[in-house]
A and B are shown apart, each in its own frame.
Chain A
Amino acid sequence: QKEVEQNSGPLSVPEGAIASLNCTYSDRVSQSFFWYRQYSGKSPELIMSIYSNGDKEDGRFTAQLNKASQYVSLLIRDSQPSDSATYLCAVNTGTASKLTFGTGTRLQVTL
């Protein structure tokens, strides 16, 4: 079992819709959770972090964490074509602040 799992996609949503990206992790002691956006040919960019159960909102982005279910998600409201990218879930698995990344979900926002 992979430590951090994501559906590779592509996830296709129409412009203006809500995109829902999901991630599960295996290590129950994980404490910190991050979402990165990676455009093709570019390096990952941090967009959200979440540390406690519940929702965290930042503009059009909402991160949701459920530690009991070992599940973290990212919602993107009013999706725009510029949101088309690969979204990487990352989890702190205990060694200092080392992050383990999922393989990413490719999001396509269609006109």
Chain B
Amino acid sequence: GAGVSQSPSNKVTEKGKDVELRCDPISGHTALYWYRQSLGQGLEFLIYFQGNSAPDKSGLPSDRFSAERTGGSVSTLTIQRTQQEDSAVYLCASSLSHYGYTFGSGTRLTVV
């Protein structure tokens, strides 16, 4: 597509529930990244995909977080047993080589 697409744009979930966030990168972009941004905070790296493999998942905060990417395209970030501290905007970005990222519009996750 023309840009990076993320869904849903907003998600409110109850504490303890699982959530899935989806990212559809720009067509042809081999690299895909997940970041999160808490209110008034900087961008926190979560995971990086090159194709379908994840050479760097060092930013995943706990084993409740997992991500996959299929067909070198769509990626899903799953958070199990959500906690209130998981509330943030989850941003997906894609890139071609070293030319900087293009971000999606993000998913605002609120855990109540």
Interface residues of A (CB under 8 A from B): 31-32, 34, 42-46, 49, 51, 88, 90, 92, 95-104
Contact = CB atoms under 8 A, between A and B. Distances in A.
27 contacts: A32-B98, A32-B100, A34-B101, A43-B104, A43-B106, A46-B102, A90-B100, A92-B98, A95-B48, A95-B55, A96-B50, A96-B56, A97-B95, A98-B33, A98-B45, A98-B48, A98-B56, A99-B33, A99-B45, A99-B100, A99-B101, A100-B45, A101-B35, A101-B42, A101-B43, A102-B42, A104-B42
A60 B1 CA distance: 30
B91 interface: yes
A46 B103 CA distance: 9
A96 B48 contact: yes
Nearest to B92: A43
The B interface is mostly helix, strand or loop, or mixed, namely: strand
B31 interface: yes
B102 A88 contact: no
Contacts of A45: 103
Given A46-B101, A97-B98, A102-B42, 11 more contacts: A32-B100, A43-B103, A44-B43, A46-B100, A46-B102, A96-B56, A97-B95, A98-B48, A99-B45, A101-B43, A103-B42
Nearest to B59: A98
B98 A88 contact: no
A43 B103 CA distance: 7
Contacts of A43: 91, 103-106
Interface in B35-52: 35, 41-43, 45, 48, 50
A99 B98 CA distance: 10
A96 B47 CA distance: 12
A88 B33 contact: no
A49 B102 CA distance: 13
A49 B33 CA distance: 18
